[in-house]
Amino acid sequence: MHSSIGTSLLVFASIFLGLVPALATPESGNDDFPAGDNDIISRDVAIIGGGASGTFAAVRLRERGKTVVLIERDDHLGGHTHTYYDSDGTPIDYGVWVYSDYPVSRSFFAHFNITLTTEFLNGNPEATQRVDFRTGQPVAPPVGNVVEAMTRYTQILLQYPYLMDGWDLPYPVPEDLLLSFQDFIEKHDLQAAIETLALYMQGFGEVLQLPAVYVMKLFHLGVVQGVQTGFLRPASRANSDLYRAAEGELRDDLLLSSTVAHIQRSAEDSGPQQIVVRTPKGQQRVQADKVIVTIPPLLGELENFDLDERESEIFGRFDNNSYFPAILRMSGLPGNGTQFVNKAPETPYNIAPVPSTHVFEPTASRDLWTAFFGGGSAPISSKQARQTILDNALSLRAAGYPISDPEIVAFRPHVPYALHVSSEDIADGFYRDLYGLQGYRNTFYTGAAFHSHDSAETWKFTENLLNERVLMD
């Protein structure tokens, strides 16, 4: 489950479980293909992007007897999975946190002999502090019956089970899915649940204006089930263990710190795909029968791809946000599991405007706190995000907490993040057109933009894509 999901789980649990019984960015340039055929990496499938879905695809294809090469711009696999180790060795995950308990989740960890534990996120609702991070002033909690509102929300989810499998929507698209999140809340009398649902959408910008379907895709039935019966997590409490194990297995099929310099894709069944990759050792030529793309399908991310008019028109319709998880060292805050949630008293439902820090969460280490900053769709630099996180933390002094000067000890930009389109585009068949690109020019797609910001969900989606398309075409 991705950081935007994981970071709000404690908040969700404290509000809901506490009350309810169990119910590859390419670099610029258009490099020519190296001459000659020496040192060509020739594989059945080339995978671009080594996050959750790309790593999973590489491991599963090798299990199925296919040869692969995995190209990743970072110096490690895992995408949005980040683990920080305190001075005493305590691991603190500040990206992906927990996973829905699906068979595909258990089998992926079992492949690497990683022991899992069940995580019950029972929080203390009385420990949640709602504060305006601009001023340090307290903000009143939401009113209404959260239990009843969440029950109504779950009943609505049950009407749209296909949202669990991707974006294979019916047409015309049901009205509920196209409503703005604010109109959806008001139509179904879910005001008491909006704090829970909105916190779950961290990183998605101005959430009240977002089409409701994006909320339903992220706070899905698997999350509801996990709240009741528990989520999965490595017993080590370090989610990065999965990807370090994958790096060891994929060693000879892995190009880290590498980006696509140029790609030349042939028409279907007319020859292999040619890719020039910039690696730390220089340019590397890759040849593959098929390509799987898992990086965000934005024009800026794909500028060195040989996109045609059809692909460019579809990918060019995406908008995106920015999201920055961090770990702060600061003393002076309560050690009883208190969470600090950002609120704005002048806005509808007190939802804090972006850019801002959504929440400060306690960790297993006494003076370390996770912070999750949402930048919205407007460009924002890492420097700006870091400074705003620090300023937001300092506001807690005005709330009466004698905190020390905060220090950011870990920080990761998730940019671009939360790709989305308008309700009008969804109604006009955007996702039907997007899915129509599967297999086009021997290229296949998976990742958050094609399903959800949720690791277990993308593994499930990727498994189906491999079985139904990649291994069949």
Q: Residue 267 burial by CB count (10 A; 0-12/13-18/19+): exposed, middle or buried?
A: exposed
pLDDT tens column, 361-384: 999 999 999 999 999 889 999 999
CA separation (Å) from 132 to 140, 346, 378, 390? Answer: 10, 10, 22, 14
Q: Is the pLDDT of residue 317 over 90?
A: yes
Q: Which residue has the tokens 């002999």?
A: 113
**pLDDT reported for residue 211:** 98
**pLDDT reported for residue 14:** 39
Q: Which residue has the tokens 């460009």?
A: 379
* Other CB atoms within 10 Å distance of the CB of residue 110: 11
Which residue, 185, 224, 11, is CA-closest to 100? 224
Taken as a whole, the chain contains a residue count of 473
Mean pLDDT of the chain: 91
**pLDDT reported for residue 3:** 45
**pLDDT reported for residue 363:** 95
Torsion angle, alpha carbons of 203, 220, 192, 335, to 10: -60
d(CA 412, CA 324): 6
Q: Is the pLDDT of residue 108 over 60?
A: yes
Tokens of 2: 């991705």
Q: What is the 3-state secondary structure (H, E, C) of 219-244?
A: CCHHHHHHHHHCEEEECCCCCHHHHH
Q: Which residue has the tokens 């020039």?
A: 276
118 close to 101: Cβ distance less than 8 angstroms: yes
**pLDDT reported for residue 231:** 96
Higher pLDDT, 167 or 14: 167
4 close to 418: Cβ distance less than 8 angstroms: yes
Q: Is the pLDDT of residue 404 over 50?
A: yes
151 contacts: CB under 8 Å, gap ≥ 6: 23
What is the pTM assigned to this prediction?
0.92
Q: What is the mean pLDDT of residues 186-193?
A: 97
**pLDDT reported for residue 30:** 42
d(CA 168, CA 177): 13
Q: Is the pLDDT of residue 351 over 70?
A: yes
Residue 199: pLDDT band (50, 70, 90) is: confident
Which residue, 47, 59, 46, is CA-closest to 112? 59
Q: What is the mean pLDDT of residues 293-309?
A: 97
253 contacts: CB under 8 Å, gap ≥ 6: 43, 58, 62, 67, 68, 69, 70
CATH of segment(s) 41-82+107-112+235-318+420-470: 3.50.50.60
25 contacts: CB under 8 Å, gap ≥ 6: 73, 259, 295, 300, 301
d(CA 44, CA 287): 8
